[in-house]
């Protein structure tokens, strides 16, 4: 019987070629998307405000000092229009990276790793320039400034975004490098996985299977099932007998009547007097000081708080302590 050759589906082959040819672009776009999502979180903004507050001083003038963040909630008094412009700038950054990396892959399909690394870095910088310029235009439109605002804000926004992208451009660069795996490396990886699977099957799965078969045979030969059934019947009988005893002792009213008939002593007798020693004798070598000596700089207060009876003419001290306290201290 002749073997029937199975040809791959044309749609599946087209999808495979498309994914293989755009791995670099998709990898760079994915890490850039994660980057703008991170810049859109409140935690990152609060962390920058707390630790690097000086870097956020230009934001008081309206200059965007961070990369555009992709978010779906507004900050305090932010309008929905400003939120939409911010999200558009973030998507513009991601789209620029994907576009430039895809173009590079079409023009240079066999480019080296270093080439792809610097192309990914430059793609993020180009996207940062475009998104920063757009955000600057939005700020200039909001403040309704003159020609200086329409030239200054876009320039400053593009400059700030360019600095951030120069610092973070290695992220899409590394993604572009590791997105393409050479054929030799892929073949070695497949061989390693096949060999690892064979070793696991030979040295782990098959011995465990043989051991299980031997244990089952020994269990059947020694009557393990019967012994387990007998043990279970004994345990069940013990549990049943203990339950019956408990129900006989406490399930009827006799147990409660016995507990109610128990008598407690009417009075608890305590010792009438507790004798304490009249004098406490210290050891012969221990002596207490006759007079307490205070430090040279410490003095006891002479005056005491004055007490009044509440009368209007109550200006005279009531006892000797108050008379003594009314005298001036030396």
CB 49 within 8 A of CB 41: no
* Per-residue pLDDT, 6: 43
pLDDT at residue 25 tops 70? yes
Neighbours of 23 (CB within 10 A): 18
Strands, E assignment, 98-194: none
Q: Quote the pLDDT of residue 5.
A: 41
**88 or 301, which is more confident?**
88
For 157-214, the pLDDT digits (tens) are: 899 899 999 999 999 989 888 887 655 556 666 777 777 887 787 778 888 888 888 8
Answer yes or no: is pLDDT of 226 > 50.
Answer: yes
Q: Is 306 helix (H, G, I), strand (E, B) or coil?
A: coil
Q: Which residue has the higher pLDDT, 246 or 180?
A: 180
Q: Six-digit token pair at 266?
A: 């009417």
Q: Mean pLDDT throughout 44-51?
A: 80
Q: What is the mean pLDDT of the chain?
A: 75
Point out the least confidently predicted range of 35-44, 52-61, 200-209.
Answer: 52-61
Q: Alpha-carbon torsion 131, 135, 141, 147, what sign?
A: negative
* pLDDT number for residue 4: 41
Token couple for 306: 């004055």
Tell the burial category of 240 from Cβ atoms under 10 Å away from its Cβ (0-12, 13-18, 19+). Answer: exposed
Residues 112, 37 contacting (CB under 8 angstroms): no
> Rounded to whole angstroms, how far apart are CA atoms 135 and 66?
11
Among 23-32, 124-133, 256-265, the range of highest mean pLDDT:
124-133
The three-state (H, E, C) secondary structure of 81-117, written as one string: HHHHHHHHHHHHHHHHHHHHHHHHHHHCCCCCHHHHH
DSSP state of 60: G
Residue 260 or residue 23, greater confidence? 23
pLDDT of residue 131: 92
pLDDT score of 129: 93
- pLDDT > 70: percent of the chain: 67
Residue 91's pLDDT is: 93
- Of 120, 70, 65, 64, the C-alpha closest to 90 is 70
What predicted TM-score, i.e. pTM, was given to this entire model?
0.51
Would the pLDDT of 284 be above 60?
Answer: yes
For residue 125, pLDDT beyond 90? yes
Q: What is the pLDDT of residues 91-108, one digit of tens each?
A: 999 999 999 998 988 888
13: Cα within 13 Å, side-chain hemisphere: 4
Instruction: Calculate the dihedral angle through the C-alpha atoms of 212, 214, 220, 222, rounding to the nearest 10 degrees.
Output: -120
Indicate if the pLDDT at residue 301 is higher than 70: no
pLDDT score for 52: 76
Looking at the predicted structure, is the pLDDT value of residue 253 above 80?
no
Predicted local confidence at residue 2, as pLDDT = 42
Q: Using the 8-state DSSP alphabet, how is residue 72 labeled? A: S
Residue 39 token pair: 């810049």
Question: What are the residues whose beta carbons fall under 8 Å from the beta carbon of 90, sequence distance 6 or more?
Answer: 36, 39, 40, 67, 68, 69, 70, 131
The whole-angstrom separation of Cα 293 and Cα 311 is 42
**Per residue in 56-79, is it b (16+ CB within 10 Å) or e — as a string?**
eeeeeebbbbbbbbbbeeeeeeee
Cβ partners under 8 Å of residue 77, min gap 6: none
The answer on pLDDT for 283 being more than 70 is yes
Interval 241-266 mean pLDDT: 61
Whole-number pLDDT of residue 310: 53
d(CA 112, CA 100): 16
Q: pLDDT higher for 282 or 15?
A: 282
Distance, CA of 118 to CA of 121 (rounded, Å): 5
Q: Which of 154, 79, 169, 179 is nearest to 122 (CA)?
A: 169
List, as one string, the DSSP characters of 221-242.
HTTHHHHHHHHHHHHHHHHHHH
Q: Does 34 have pLDDT greater than 80? A: yes
């Amino acid at each position: 019987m002749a073997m029937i050759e199975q040809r791959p589906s044309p749609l599946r082959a087209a999808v495979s070629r498309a994914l293989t040819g755009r791995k670099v672009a998709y990898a760079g776009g994915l890490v850039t998307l994660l980057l703008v999502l991170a810049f859109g979180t409140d935690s990152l903004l609060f962390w920058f405000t707390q630790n690097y507050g000086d870097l956020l001083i230009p934001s008081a003038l309206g200059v965007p000092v961070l990369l555009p963040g992709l978010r779906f909630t507004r900050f305090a008094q932010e309008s929905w229009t400003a939120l939409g412009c911010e999200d558009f700038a973030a998507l513009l950054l991601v789209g620029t990276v994907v576009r430039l990396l895809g173009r590079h892959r079409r023009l240079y399909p066999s480019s080296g790793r270093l080439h792809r690394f610097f192309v990914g870095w430059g793609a993020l910088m180009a996207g940062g320039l475009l998104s920063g310029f757009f955000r600057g235009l939005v700020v200039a439109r909001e403040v309704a400034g003159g020609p200086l605002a329409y030239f200054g804000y876009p320039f400053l926004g593009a400059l700030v975004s360019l600095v951030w992208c120069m610092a973070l451009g290695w992220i899409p660069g590394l993604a572009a490098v590791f997105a393409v795996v050479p054929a030799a490396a892929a073949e070695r990886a497949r061989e390693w996985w096949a060999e690892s699977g064979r070793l696991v099957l030979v040295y782990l799965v098959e011995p465990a299977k043989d051991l299980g078969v031997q244990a089952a045979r020994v269990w059947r030969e020694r009557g393990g099932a019967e012994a387990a059934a007998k043990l279970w019947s004994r345990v069940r009988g013990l549990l049943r007998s203990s339950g019956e005893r408990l129900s006989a002792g406490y399930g009827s009213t006799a147990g409660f009547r016995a507990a109610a008939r128990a008598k407690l002593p009417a009075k608890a007798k305590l010792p009438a007097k507790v004798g304490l020693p009249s004098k406490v004798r210290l050891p012969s070598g221990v002596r207490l000081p006759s007079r307490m000596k205070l430090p040279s700089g410490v003095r006891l207060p002479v005056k005491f708080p004055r007490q009044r009876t509440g009368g209007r003419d109550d200006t005279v001290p009531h006892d000797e302590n108050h008379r003594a306290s009314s005298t001036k201290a030396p």
